[in-house]
Protein backbone atom coordinates (compact mmCIF):
# COMPACT_ATOMS: atom_id res chain seq x y z
CA UNK A 1 0.00 0.00 0.00
CA UNK A 2 1.36 3.39 -0.94
CA UNK A 3 0.15 6.72 0.25
CA UNK A 4 -1.09 8.84 -2.61
CA UNK A 5 -0.35 12.51 -2.01
CA UNK A 6 -3.42 14.69 -1.52
CA UNK A 7 -4.05 17.38 -4.13
CA UNK A 8 -2.10 20.61 -3.55
CA UNK A 9 -4.07 22.25 -0.76
CA UNK A 10 -2.94 25.75 -1.76
CA UNK A 11 -4.25 25.21 -5.29
CA UNK A 12 -7.56 23.81 -4.00
CA UNK A 13 -8.04 26.96 -1.91
CA UNK A 14 -6.67 29.24 -4.62
CA UNK A 15 -4.30 30.95 -2.17
CA UNK A 16 -0.64 31.78 -2.65
CA UNK A 17 1.87 29.16 -1.58
CA UNK A 18 3.16 30.70 1.62
CA UNK A 19 3.53 29.69 5.25
CA UNK A 20 2.26 33.04 6.49
CA UNK A 21 -1.46 32.62 6.00
CA UNK A 22 -3.77 34.77 8.09
CA UNK A 23 -5.75 32.14 10.00
CA UNK A 24 -8.90 34.22 10.30
CA UNK A 25 -8.87 35.04 6.60
CA UNK A 26 -8.25 31.39 5.84
CA UNK A 27 -11.27 30.36 7.91
CA UNK A 28 -13.49 32.94 6.17
CA UNK A 29 -12.28 31.64 2.84
CA UNK A 30 -13.00 28.05 3.87
CA UNK A 31 -16.56 28.92 4.88
CA UNK A 32 -17.10 30.79 1.60
CA UNK A 33 -15.83 27.85 -0.45
CA UNK A 34 -18.02 25.48 1.58
CA UNK A 35 -21.08 27.56 0.83
CA UNK A 36 -20.28 27.44 -2.88
CA UNK A 37 -19.35 23.79 -3.17
CA UNK A 38 -21.07 21.78 -0.43
CA UNK A 39 -23.36 19.05 -1.84
CA UNK A 40 -26.23 20.30 0.33
CA UNK A 41 -26.40 23.46 -1.76
CA UNK A 42 -25.56 21.76 -5.04
CA UNK A 43 -28.00 18.99 -5.64
CA UNK A 44 -26.74 17.25 -8.76
CA UNK A 45 -29.12 15.49 -11.09
CA UNK A 46 -26.90 12.71 -12.39
CA UNK A 47 -24.82 10.20 -10.49
CA UNK A 48 -21.62 11.41 -12.17
CA UNK A 49 -22.26 15.04 -11.21
CA UNK A 50 -23.09 13.91 -7.70
CA UNK A 51 -19.73 12.18 -7.39
CA UNK A 52 -17.95 15.26 -8.75
CA UNK A 53 -19.67 17.58 -6.25
CA UNK A 54 -18.82 15.21 -3.41
CA UNK A 55 -15.21 14.92 -4.51
CA UNK A 56 -14.81 18.70 -4.77
CA UNK A 57 -16.37 19.20 -1.35
CA UNK A 58 -14.10 16.55 0.14
CA UNK A 59 -11.05 18.23 -1.42
CA UNK A 60 -11.99 21.55 0.18
CA UNK A 61 -12.46 19.99 3.62
CA UNK A 62 -9.21 18.06 3.33
CA UNK A 63 -7.30 21.15 2.14
CA UNK A 64 -8.70 23.10 5.10
CA UNK A 65 -7.45 20.45 7.51
CA UNK A 66 -3.97 20.77 6.01
CA UNK A 67 -3.79 24.55 5.75
CA UNK A 68 -5.10 25.38 9.20
CA UNK A 69 -2.34 23.37 10.87
CA UNK A 70 1.01 25.21 10.43
CA UNK A 71 3.04 21.99 10.31
CA UNK A 72 0.78 20.18 7.88
CA UNK A 73 0.72 23.39 5.84
CA UNK A 74 4.53 23.35 5.77
CA UNK A 75 4.61 19.73 4.60
CA UNK A 76 2.13 20.50 1.81
CA UNK A 77 4.12 23.54 0.76
CA UNK A 78 7.41 21.66 0.59
CA UNK A 79 5.88 18.75 -1.32
CA UNK A 80 4.31 21.17 -3.81
CA UNK A 81 7.57 23.12 -4.29
CA UNK A 82 9.83 20.09 -4.58
CA UNK A 83 8.18 16.68 -4.88
CA UNK A 84 9.78 14.05 -2.64
CA UNK A 85 11.78 16.57 -0.60
CA UNK A 86 10.49 15.25 2.73
CA UNK A 87 11.40 11.67 1.84
CA UNK A 88 14.91 12.72 0.72
CA UNK A 89 15.73 14.55 3.95
CA UNK A 90 14.68 12.00 6.51
CA UNK A 91 18.18 11.45 7.83
CA UNK A 92 18.73 13.73 10.79
CA UNK A 93 21.89 14.88 12.54
CA UNK A 94 22.92 12.31 15.24
CA UNK A 95 23.52 15.15 17.68
CA UNK A 96 19.96 16.31 17.28
CA UNK A 97 18.65 12.77 17.73
CA UNK A 98 20.63 12.39 20.96
CA UNK A 99 19.13 15.59 22.30
CA UNK A 100 15.65 14.51 21.22
CA UNK A 101 16.09 11.20 23.02
CA UNK A 102 17.10 12.96 26.21
CA UNK A 103 14.09 15.22 25.90
CA UNK A 104 11.76 12.24 25.52
CA UNK A 105 13.22 10.74 28.69
CA UNK A 106 12.82 14.00 30.53
CA UNK A 107 9.15 14.01 29.55
CA UNK A 108 8.63 10.35 30.47
CA UNK A 109 10.01 10.84 33.98
CA UNK A 110 8.81 14.38 34.62
CA UNK A 111 7.21 14.88 38.04
CA UNK A 112 3.99 16.86 38.03
CA UNK A 113 5.70 19.99 39.48
CA UNK A 114 8.09 20.03 36.50
CA UNK A 115 5.40 19.74 33.84
CA UNK A 116 4.53 23.41 33.45
CA UNK A 117 8.16 24.43 32.97
CA UNK A 118 8.73 21.57 30.54
CA UNK A 119 5.65 22.53 28.53
CA UNK A 120 7.02 26.08 28.18
CA UNK A 121 10.40 24.73 27.12
CA UNK A 122 8.88 22.48 24.45
CA UNK A 123 6.56 25.21 23.19
CA UNK A 124 9.57 27.52 22.83
CA UNK A 125 11.46 24.83 20.90
CA UNK A 126 8.49 24.35 18.54
CA UNK A 127 8.16 28.10 18.01
CA UNK A 128 11.83 28.42 17.21
CA UNK A 129 11.60 25.41 14.83
CA UNK A 130 8.85 27.22 12.96
CA UNK A 131 10.71 30.53 12.77
CA UNK A 132 13.77 28.74 11.37
CA UNK A 133 11.52 26.86 8.94
CA UNK A 134 10.00 30.12 7.68
CA UNK A 135 13.50 31.49 7.09
CA UNK A 136 14.56 28.41 5.12
CA UNK A 137 11.41 28.53 2.99
CA UNK A 138 11.87 32.23 2.28
CA UNK A 139 15.45 31.52 1.21
CA UNK A 140 14.25 28.75 -1.08
CA UNK A 141 16.27 26.14 0.83
CA UNK A 142 13.63 23.39 0.79
CA UNK A 143 16.04 20.62 1.85
CA UNK A 144 16.90 22.47 5.04
CA UNK A 145 13.22 23.25 5.58
CA UNK A 146 12.32 19.57 5.19
CA UNK A 147 14.86 18.68 7.90
CA UNK A 148 13.27 21.26 10.20
CA UNK A 149 9.87 19.67 9.65
CA UNK A 150 11.24 16.25 10.61
CA UNK A 151 12.99 17.70 13.67
CA UNK A 152 9.86 19.50 14.84
CA UNK A 153 8.09 16.16 14.85
CA UNK A 154 10.13 15.09 17.90
CA UNK A 155 9.25 18.27 19.79
CA UNK A 156 5.58 18.04 18.87
CA UNK A 157 5.45 14.42 19.96
CA UNK A 158 7.16 15.20 23.27
CA UNK A 159 4.61 17.95 23.92
CA UNK A 160 1.77 15.61 23.02
CA UNK A 161 3.11 12.93 25.39
CA UNK A 162 3.47 15.47 28.14
CA UNK A 163 -0.13 16.65 27.70
CA UNK A 164 -1.32 13.04 27.73
CA UNK A 165 0.34 12.58 31.13
CA UNK A 166 -1.68 15.27 32.84
Q: Using CB under 8 A as the criterion, which residues of the chain lie in contact with another protein when the complex forms? A: 1-4, 6, 31, 34-35, 38-44, 54-55, 57-59, 61-62, 64-65
Distance between CA atoms of residues 74 and 82, nearest Å: 12
**Alpha carbon distance 35, 21 (integer Å):** 21
Nearer to another protein by Cβ, of 12 and 137: the residue is: 12
State the Cα–Cα distance between residues 61 and 54, nearest whole angstrom: 11
Q: Which is nearer to another protein, 3 or 16 (CB)?
A: 3
Q: How far apart are CA 83 and CA 89, in angstroms?
A: 12
At 93, phi and psi to the nearest 5?
-60, 125
CB of 75 to another protein, least distance (A): 15
Q: Taking the complex as a whole, how short is the minimal distance between the CB of residue 102 and another protein, in angstroms?
A: 27
CB of 141 to another protein, least distance (A): 30
**Cβ closest to another protein, residue 62 vs residue 106:** 62
Amino acid sequence: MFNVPAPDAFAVFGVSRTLDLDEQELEMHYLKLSRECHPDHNRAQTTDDCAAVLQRSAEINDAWNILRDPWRRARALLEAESAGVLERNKKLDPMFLMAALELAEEVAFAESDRQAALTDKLQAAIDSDFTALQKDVNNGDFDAAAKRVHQSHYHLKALHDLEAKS
